[in-house]
Structure 1
Amino acid sequence: MASILIVEDEAAINELVKRNLQLVGHQCTSVFDGKAAVSEMQHRSYDLMILDIMLPELDGFEVIKQSEKTPTIFLTAKNSLPDRIKGFSMGADDYLTKPFEMLELLARVEAVLRRTQKTASCFEAGNVKIDFSNHQVFHNGQLVECTPKEYELLEVLVNNRNIALSRERLLELVWGYDFEGDTRTVDVHIQKLRKKLGWEDRIKTVYKLGYRLEVDR
C-alpha cells in the first residue's frame, strides 16, 4: 500500500488519522510542524501527504510549496472559499475541512492514490482477486458474476478493511441517502458475497453494529 506523511500538530487527530490509515494497510509517518514535514520529505519520498494549514514553524501553504509535487490532501479547519481556492491553486489534490468523517478521509485518500497511480489497481485476499480497473472479481481464478450493488458493497468493504461499518453507514455508502429500503438489504447482499467469494470467515459480523472485512495488513 501507500507511504503517507501526516502533518498535523494536534496529537489526538494525528494519531487518529494514523491508526485508521494503518488499519487499511498504509505505512504512515507522523510529524507535528511544518519544518519537520519539509525535513522529512528531503530525506524520503512519500506517495501522499495529509497536511494541516495552521502549523507551528511553517504553515501548510509554505510546506506544499516545498513538497516537490507530493500528492497532497489538505485537512484543516480553514474552511473559507479563499482558503480552498488557494489550496487547490498551490497544487493540492483535495481539501477536507474539520470536523471530518474518517470514512470520508479514507475514501478521499483512496481516490487520490488511484488518480496518481500510487496504489495497486488490484486487491487480493486468499483466493479472491479484485480488479478495480475493470470492475471484475475472481475466485480461484474464475470470474465471479456480481451485481452492481454487490460490487459496490465489496469495494466499500475493501477500501475500509479491518474497520467496522454499521449497516446504516453501508446503506448510505452503497445505496445512497434516499434509499427507501432497510438494513436487511445489507444483510442479504453480505450473505451473497460471502457465498460467492468463500468469505464466510473473512466478512465478520460485528455484534449489534454491522460488518468488518478482516485481512492481513
Structure 2
Amino acid sequence: MASILIVEDEEAINELVKRNLQLVGHQCTSVFDGETAVVEIQQESYDLMILDIMLPGFNGFDVMKQGNKTPTIFLTAKSSLTDRINGFSMGADDYMTKPFEMLELLARVEAVLRRTQKSESSFEAGDVKINFKSRQVFHVGQLVECTPKEYELLEVLVNNRNIALSRERLLDLVWGYDFEGGTRTVDVHIQKLRKKLGWEDKIKTVYKLGYRLEVGR
C-alpha cells in the first residue's frame, strides 16, 4: 500500500494513527516535530503526509512551505475558517479537526491516495481478486456477480481490513444515515459475501459488535 509520514507531537495520537494505518496495510513513519518532518520529506519520498499544525519547532504551515509537494492531510485542533482556508490555499489535499473518528480518517486517506493515484487498483486475498477501477470481483478466476450494495460492503471491509466494524457503522457507511432498515440487512449481505467468495474464515463475526475482514497485511 502507501508510504505515509505521520507528523504529530502527541505520542498517543501519533501511535493510534500509525497502528490503524498499519492494520490496513500502509507503511508508516512517525515524527514528532516540524524540523524533523522537513528533513524527512526532503530526504525520503512519501505518498502521503498526515500533518498537525501546532508542532514544536516549525509549525505545520512551515512544514508545508518547505516540503516537496507531498500530498497532505492536516489533522489538527485548529478549526477556524481562517486556518482551513490557509491550509487549502497552501495545497493541502484535506483538512480534519480533532477530535476525529479513525474510520473517517482512514476513508479520507484512501480518497486522497486514489486522487493522487497512489492507492492500489486491485486487492487480492487467497482466491479472491477485486478490481477497484472496474468494480469487478473474481473468485478462483471467475467473475462473481455482486449487487451494488454487496460490492460497496465488500469495499468497506477491504479498506478497513483487520479492524472491527459495528453493524451500525457498516449500515451508515454502505446504506447511509437515512436508511430505514435494521442491522439485519448487514447480516444478510455478510452471509451472501461469505458464500460467494468462500470467505467464511476471513469475514469474522465480532461478538456483540459486528464484523472484521481478517487478512494478511
TM over 0.5: yes
Q: Quote the Cα distance in structure 1 between the aligned partners of 2:18 and 2:165.
A: 18
Q: Which residue of 2 aligns with 1:129?
A: 129
Q: Quote the Cα distance in structure 1 between the aligned partners of 2:212 and 2:146.
A: 19
Q: Which residue of 2 aligns with 1:34?
A: 34
Q: Which residue of 1 aligns with 2:68?
A: 68
Which AA in structure 1 matches 2:179? F
Cα offset for 1:40?
Answer: 1.0
Cα offset for 1:66?
Answer: 1.5
Gaps of at least 5 residues in structure 1 are none
Q: Which residue of 2 aligns with 1:158?
A: 158
Cα offset for 1:42?
Answer: 2.0
Q: Quote the Cα distance in structure 1 between the aligned partners of 2:71 and 2:185.
A: 37
Which AA in structure 1 matches 2:159? N
Q: Which residue of 1 aligns with 2:191?
A: 191
Q: Which residue of 1 aligns with 2:117?
A: 117
Q: RMSD between aligned alpha carbons?
A: 0.6
Q: Which residue of 2 aligns with 1:53?
A: 53
Cα offset for 1:170?
Answer: 0.4
SS across alignment from 1:170: helix
SS across alignment from 2:143: strand
Which AA in structure 2 matches 1:99? P
Q: Which residue of 2 aligns with 1:201?
A: 201
Deviation track 1:91-110 (CA, whole Å, cap 9, x = no partner) reads: 10000100000000000000
Q: Quote the Cα distance in structure 2 between the aligned partners of 1:42 and 1:105.
A: 25
Cα offset for 1:55?
Answer: 0.5
Superposition TM-score, scaled by structure 1 size: 0.99
The question of whether the paired residues in 1 share the 8 Å contact of 2:161 and 2:214 is answered with yes
Q: Which residue of 2 aligns with 1:96?
A: 96
Which AA in structure 1 matches 2:117? Q
Which AA in structure 2 matches 1:186? V
Q: Quote the Cα distance in structure 2 between the aligned partners of 1:91 and 1:68.
A: 11
Q: Quote the Cα distance in structure 2 between the aligned partners of 1:158 and 1:67.
A: 31
Deviation track 1:140-184 (CA, whole Å, cap 9, x = no partner) reads: 111111001000000000000000000010001001111111111
Deviation track 1:113-162 (CA, whole Å, cap 9, x = no partner) reads: 01101111101111111111011111111111100100000000000000
Cα offset for 1:65?
Answer: 1.2
Gaps of at least 5 residues in structure 2 are none
Which AA in structure 2 matches 1:76? T
Q: Quote the Cα distance in structure 1 between the aligned partners of 2:116 and 2:78.
A: 25
Matches within 5 A, 1:78-97: 78-97=78-97
SS across alignment from 2:40: helix
Q: Quote the Cα distance in structure 2 between the aligned partners of 1:139 and 1:84.
A: 44
Return structure 1 stretches of 4+ with deviation > 2 angstroms.
Answer: none
Q: Quote the Cα distance in structure 2 between the aligned partners of 1:181 and 1:85.
A: 39
Q: Quote the Cα distance in structure 2 between the aligned partners of 1:139 and 1:29.
A: 35
Q: Which residue of 1 aligns with 2:23?
A: 23
Superposition TM-score, scaled by structure 2 size: 0.99
